[in-house]
Amino acid sequence: MDSSTDWAGVAYQDLRVRRVEDTIAVLTRDAAPAHITASAIILSTDLRQTCLVLHNKIRKWVQPGGHLEPGDTTMAAAAAREAEEETGLAGVVLPDPVVLSRHSAPCRPDVVDWHLDVEFALLCDPTAPVVSEESLDVRWFPVDALPADLASGTRHGVERAVQVREEARGRTERAVGKVQAAFDAATELRDQLRVSERIRTEGLSERQAAVK
């Protein structure tokens, strides 16, 4: 989040105060004073770069994202669609959100106050992006050298996405290490049993039985 306030709690209060009865409506751009959006924090597969768009309304660099469309089957799918529409890039979207962000909405000033953004990490090769009609520019940036004119919360989102991916990679590496250790232990036990069996059945010494 780009504030210390609980996102879900504030969203609920926003909608409750304004008497928004239809909770499904909050998934559409028609809901006011707030509605849910989806965005993709695009990272290179080595986690060293992120692709940002220069938003043509707020004139700041931000991750691609926007309103949900009727054909979106999941929030992650909506984020992936927005990323491809705004950058031409496609990749693997991590299934769980990395950030929930509540920020000022540029879509309908004085009608919609907030976008309740569900942000996902998307991993792809750092190929050349394509600027869309919704943006003034689109570029890859090193994650440790982001531009100064960032939209609120963008830096935190990138940092969090990198952190989540690194943690997931660490868990995978530890799991692989445990599997390898178990395999090595099983192989060693198998070899010991074979030696014992040769000593018993062939009358060999331990050194002789150990020769494969």
How is the chain split among helix, strand and coil, in percent rounded to 5? 40, 25, 35
123: Cβ contacts below 8 Å, ≥ 6 apart: 43, 44, 45, 91, 92, 93, 94, 165
The pLDDT tens digits for 109-143 are 665 656 778 899 999 999 999 999 889 999 999 99
The mean pLDDT value for 166-182 works out to 72
pLDDT at 84 (0 to 100): 97
Neighbour-count burial for 24-59, b at 16+ CB within 10 Å, e otherwise: eebbebebbbbbbbbbbbbbbeebebbbbbbbeeee
Distances (CA, A) of 197 to 80, 108, 184, 194, 210: 58, 80, 20, 5, 10
pLDDT band at 206 (very low <50, low <70, confident <90, very high): low
pTM, two decimals, is 0.70
Instruction: Name the token pair of 12.
Output: 């609920």
Task: Give me the percent of the chain exceeding a pLDDT of 70.
Answer: 71
The pLDDT tens digits for 5-63 are 454 455 445 444 444 445 566 666 666 667 788 999 999 999 999 999 999 888 999 99
- Rounded CA separation 62/56 (Å): 11
Partners of 161 in beta bridges: none
Please give the full DSSP string across 60-128, using - where no structure is assigned.
Answer: SEE--EEE--TT--SHHHHHHHHHHHHHS---EEPSS-SEEEEEE--SSTTT--EEEEEEEEEEE--PP
